[in-house]
Amino acid sequence: MRTTESSSPVRPAAISAEGWGWRHAGRSVPAIHGLDLRIEPGERVLLLGPSGAGKSTLLHALAGVLGDEEDDSDESGSLLIDGVAPRGQRGRAGLMQQDPETQVVLSRVGDDVAFGAENLAVPRDEIWSRVHEALDDVGLRTAAGGGLALDHPTAALSGGQKQRLALAGILAMRPGLILLDEPTANLDPAGVLEVRDAVSRCLDKTGATLVVVEHRVSVWKDLVDRIVVLQPGSAGSGSKTGTPGVLLDGPPDQVLSEARTMLMAAGVWVPGYVPATRARHIQPGTAQLLLAAQDVAVSRERPRRKGFKTVPPVPVQTDISAQVRAGQALTITGPNGAGKSTFALTLAGLLAPVDGRVSAAVELSEGAGIDPFKWKADQLISRIGTVFQEPEHQFVTGKVLDELMFGPKHLGHGEERVDELLERLRLTHLVDANPYTLSGGEKRRLSVATVLAAHPKVLVLDEPTFGQDANTWAELASFLSELLDAGTAVVSVTHDQEFSAVLGGTELRLGPVAQGESTHQEAGAA
Amino acid sequence: MRDALNIRGNHALLTHANPLAKFVAVFLISLVLALSIDWVSATTALVAELALFPLAGLTIRLLWQRAWPLIIAAAIGGWSTAIVAADSGAVLRDVGLWSISEGSLELGLGFMLRGLAIALPAILLMTCTDPTDLADALAQKAKLPHRFVLGSLAAMRLVGLMAEEWQTIGMARRARGVGSQGSPFQRLKATLGQSFGLLVQAVRRASRLAVTMEARGFGGGQRTWARESTYSMLDVWVVLGGLIIGAGAVLTAVGAGTWSFVWR
């Protein structure tokens, strides 16, 4: 066992892969293969590559959490940390994953940070001094960072705070290697910087080796001293340059200038690059009003029973008014927790407003009644389509084609649109695949296509560009601009300014939540 | 769910007792109450339990808010026992098949009080016990395997998350045209589909959480505990309290001549 004195500095880890490959149990093709890579102690590496290049697989392997002896997964070559297999070295590497909710283990902040150190059998007094230090290092104890007490409930943290908490939990293990697997993909811009800065501070202090996987290069470019681009499509064969598995390797500026075009083609968010998108052609003057919200207060919670009393939920946002017009975009922005998604879902007829009213114009309702929340499910989908942030929430069948046919079959019309949508969103080669097995970008495209198959006049999207690579981003933005020109109204909740710029239209900015007080909304041209 | 399990802000005396001691006390009381079906022992225990409310930081208001379905269930259970139980003594009300006699009313009352008296200690325990502390006690003091205890604790945190997820999936599916309207069969089908969606998400989340835990070194042999689970004098009193309430209930009932074992 390692020595666990608090005075012992972190010993940065070295990584060496020689012809390393991994095939997951039940798959015929290896996720990654023929990887040759050396990372020196203390190096900070940004790992790039298109989805399916095996980046996550590599991080999981380094964290020692890949596969079991029992299953029929397959390893080839060697992957070593300090010359030893990662599996045998608990605590040598710390891993942070994408979904903040699953990075938290216990329900109190202090306990959660202590968890890793406990598992490494660190003595009790030592654990608590590490916990204090780690929480200070990630900035969760400063007034600006939330000033959290040790017994603060972890459920009450924001996404960025949860990720920083996870980092503190990793630091408390004193690992020589920190592995970040798209740590900021689910965060808003403020959260992204929070986490990035915390990582930067901790690396400066400990000198640990870093391997980070992330699409958005600009966030990490100044922090890393090397970029490694993995071969697309995993199979190392057919590589023109360099070793199998690795396409490019070098200092950030060099890699970015040498391979800018190639990286852009692979969908990587190279700094200063906004992918080309289709411009809006039609700028409607006074377009048809389809849907309006008037002085709406919103909450996800339903009225709750407390004994004999029924208590209405406390709204997360009040007094919101907005108009949705045919062929026009409405972008809902604002800080985390301002009720953006909740308002969008209310507008989309999926939540009942706590106060105020959402009303559909006759042109939209077509006899279905004024209140979208009261519409039947099939009435709703042919009028307002909603694309959720997590595509998997909306999958209702086991095949891509069935998924697309689902809406039209229920409605009894529109099946002829399906082929066009498949073609347009590049899903044709996947018709027989199971939706759950698709890549992130494919899932996003599918979820948009399935909702559009019902031909709604209003399309509502919740953070459609979160965690998407530049190619999917550009496709989505172009496609929506086409829809807008064709007369569909597009409402999107987004932090992504470039995205709203492509769509144009109006911006509805929801203010920070002031409990019990009404907040005024500014609406202006985006 | 998340609110109900959060005892932060509760500084009552019993929050400082070892969860295992509280567990033993609750077990003792429940055991005694499960032995008899008379109303005297149940009432004695119930009165004693109500007296413990302030010690656990529980108020009648909180109790009603958290446990009203349980209280109503106990009342309904008692009432139906009174109606359908075999008559004995003077008949008080008779509506054809159903009749209430002194004997059956007594039985029903005893049933209701017993239900409450058995449920209350568990509610008291939950009110003043943090799940994390309970896990610590179970692993360190009761020597249950820590993999199991901590695994369950982490999974419990996911349960609250799943409740939110259920609502989101419901909306997401409505947005696909899967309605909760229609015939009972269609509703059942929709609910099954939603359950499947939730199951998929639960498995995904659980496996990601498992990776997180494993990457933090969980699952090895030796492990230390950041929080030491300890016993104090208070715990002696807690167990003794459980014993006294249990024994008091038996003795009062025997003294009043109402004690009757369930199997007789």
**Has residue A156 got a pLDDT over 50?**
yes
Which residues 248-267 of A have a C-beta within 8 angstroms of B?
none
Q: For chain B, say whether A108 makes contact (Cβ under 8 Å).
A: yes
**Has residue A519 got a pLDDT over 80?**
no
Q: For chain A, say whether B168 makes contact (Cβ under 8 Å).
A: yes
Q: Residues of B with CB below 8 A from A183's CB?
A: none
The CA distance from A88 to B242, in Å, is 48
pLDDT band at A241 (very low <50, low <70, confident <90, very high): very low
Out of B167, B181, B212, name the one closest to residue A105 (CB). Answer: B212
pLDDT score, position B149: 93
Q: Given an 8 Å threshold on Cβ–Cβ distance, is B175 in contact with A381?
A: yes
pLDDT score, position A388: 95
Q: For chain B, say whether A320 makes contact (Cβ under 8 Å).
A: no
Residues with Cβ within 8 Å of A254's Cβ and at least 6 positions away in sequence, in order, are none
In the structure encoding, which two tokens stand for residue A87, read together? Answer: 């599996």
The CA distance from A522 to B17, in Å, is 53
The CA distance from A380 to B237, in Å, is 62
**Has residue A525 got a pLDDT over 60?**
no
Q: For chain A, say whether B166 makes contact (Cβ under 8 Å).
A: no
Residue A273 buriedness (CB in 10 A; 0-12 / 13-18 / 19+): middle
In the structure encoding, which two tokens stand for residue A20, read together? Answer: 């390393």
Distance to chain B for A373, nearest Cα, Å: 11
Q: Given an 8 Å threshold on Cβ–Cβ distance, is B212 in contact with A95?
A: yes
Out of B205, B224, B226, name the one closest to residue A111 (CB). Answer: B226
For chain B, the first-to-last Cα distance in angstroms comes to 40
Q: For chain B, say whether A299 makes contact (Cβ under 8 Å).
A: no
pLDDT score, position A5: 43
Q: Is A267 left (phi over 0), alpha (psi -120 to 50) or beta?
A: left
Q: For chain A, say whether B260 makes contact (Cβ under 8 Å).
A: no
Span A69-80, average pLDDT: 81
Q: Helices A124-137 and A109-119 sit at what angle, rounded to 10 degrees?
A: 120
pLDDT score, position A145: 66
How does pLDDT run across A328-358, given as a tens digit for each residue? 999 999 887 788 999 999 999 999 999 999 9
Q: For chain B, say whether A388 makes contact (Cβ under 8 Å).
A: yes
In the structure encoding, which two tokens stand for residue B160, read together? Answer: 């609250």
What pTM does this model have?
0.85
Q: Residues of A with CB below 8 A from B173's CB?
A: 393-394, 396
Out of A60, A173, A345, name the one closest to residue B216 (CB). Answer: A173
**Has residue A520 got a pLDDT over 70?**
no
Q: Residues of A with CB below 8 A from B171's CB?
A: 345, 350-351, 386, 388
Contact A175, A3 (CB under 8 A): no
Integer angstrom CA distances of residue B57 from A80, A225, B11: 54, 56, 7
Cα within 13 Å of Cα(A157), Cβ side? 32
Distance to chain A for B73, nearest Cα, Å: 13
**Which of A96, A102, A129 should we substitute to test contact with B (largest number of B Cβ atoms within 10 Å)?**
A102
Choose from A237-246, A258-267, B132-141 the range with maximum mean pLDDT: B132-141
**Has residue A214 got a pLDDT over 80?**
yes
Q: For chain A, say whether B209 makes contact (Cβ under 8 Å).
A: yes
H or E element in which residue A211 lies: strand A209-213
Give the residue, A244 or B87, on which the prediction is more confident.
B87
Q: Given an 8 Å threshold on Cβ–Cβ distance, is B171 in contact with A102?
A: no
How does pLDDT run across A281-327, given as a tens digit for each residue? 876 667 899 999 999 999 988 877 666 677 788 888 999 999 999 99
Q: Among all chains, which residue has been given the structure tokens 């929050």?
A: B15
pLDDT score, position A285: 67
How does pLDDT run across A118-146, given as a tens digit for each residue? 999 999 999 999 999 999 999 888 766 66
The CA distance from B25 to A65, in Å, is 42
Out of A60, A169, A350, name the one closest to residue B175 (CB). Answer: A350
pLDDT score, position A235: 43
**Which of B212, B218, B223 should we substitute to test contact with A (largest number of A Cβ atoms within 10 Å)?**
B212
Distance to chain B for A306, nearest Cα, Å: 5
Contact A488, A326 (CB under 8 A): yes
pLDDT above 90 as % of chain A? 53
Nearest Cα residue to B19 out of B115, B117, B140: B140
Residue A290 φ/ψ, nearest 5 degrees: -110, -40
Q: Residues of A with CB below 8 A from B174's CB?
A: 350, 377, 380
H or E element in which residue A409 lies: helix A400-411
Buried b / exposed e across A53-79, counting CB within 10 Å, b at 16+?
bbbbbbbbbbbbbbbeeeeebeeeeeb
Distance to chain A for B192, nearest Cα, Å: 11
Q: Given an 8 Å threshold on Cβ–Cβ distance, is A111 in contact with B205?
A: no
Q: Residues of B with CB below 8 A from A305's CB?
A: 68
Buried b / exposed e across A224-261, counting CB within 10 Å, b at 16+?
bebbbbbbbebbbeeeeeebbbbbbbeebeebbeebee
pLDDT score, position A232: 65
Q: How many CB atoms lie within 10 A of CB A440?
A: 18
Out of A105, A348, A386, name the one closest to residue B154 (CB). Answer: A105
Buried b / exposed e across A512-525, counting CB within 10 Å, b at 16+?
ebeeeeebebeeee
Distance to chain A for B201, nearest Cα, Å: 8
pLDDT score, position A112: 95
Please state whether beta strands B91-95 and A32-39 pair in parallel, antiparallel, or not at all (unpaired): unpaired
Q: For chain A, say whether B208 makes contact (Cβ under 8 Å).
A: yes
Q: Is A276 left (phi over 0), alpha (psi -120 to 50) or beta?
A: beta
Out of A116, A127, A351, name the one closest to residue B217 (CB). Answer: A116
Distance to chain B for A393, nearest Cα, Å: 5
Nearest Cα residue to A213 out of A416, A63, A360: A63
Nearest Cα residue to A150 out of A109, A107, A104: A109
Residues with Cβ within 8 Å of A119's Cβ and at least 6 positions away in sequence, in order, are A90, A91, B216, B217, B218, B219, B220, B223
Q: Measured at the alpha carbon of residue A67, what is the angle toward residues A64 and A71, in degrees to the nearest 5?
A: 155
Out of B5, B65, B178, name the one closest to residue A396 (CB). Answer: B178
Q: For chain B, say whether A411 makes contact (Cβ under 8 Å).
A: yes
The CA distance from A250 to A263, in Å, is 14
Q: Which residue of A has its CA nearest to B154?
A: A105
Strand-pairing partners, residue A522, are A509
Q: Residues of B with CB below 8 A from A101's CB?
A: 161, 205
What is the pLDDT of chain A when averaged over all its residues? 86
**Has residue A482 got a pLDDT over 60?**
yes
Q: Residues of A with CB below 8 A from B179's CB?
A: 376-378
The CA distance from A332 to A75, in Å, is 47
Distance to chain A for B137, nearest Cα, Å: 15
Q: Among all chains, which residue has been given the structure tokens 């509610």?
A: B123
Q: For chain B, say whether A501 makes contact (Cβ under 8 Å).
A: no
How does pLDDT run across A91-115, given as a tens digit for each residue? 899 999 998 989 999 989 999 999 9
Q: What residues in chain B have per-residue pLDDT under 50?
A: 1-5
Distance to chain B for A484, nearest Cα, Å: 20
Out of A111, A122, A395, name the one closest to residue B132 (CB). Answer: A111
Eight-state DSSP code of residue B9 = T
Q: Residues of B with CB below 8 A from A119's CB?
A: 216-220, 223
Out of B177, B216, B217, name the one closest to residue A377 (CB). Answer: B177
Q: For chain B, say whether A119 makes contact (Cβ under 8 Å).
A: yes
Nearest Cα residue to A327 out of A286, A365, A284, A364: A284
Which residues 130-149 of A have a C-beta within 8 angstroms of B?
131
pLDDT score, position A115: 96
Integer angstrom CA distances of residue A289 from A232, A452, A488: 46, 20, 12
Alpha-helical (H) ranges within chain B are 19-35, 39-56, 60-84, 102-127, 131-140, 146-174, 184-215, 233-256
The CA distance from B88 to B83, in Å, is 12
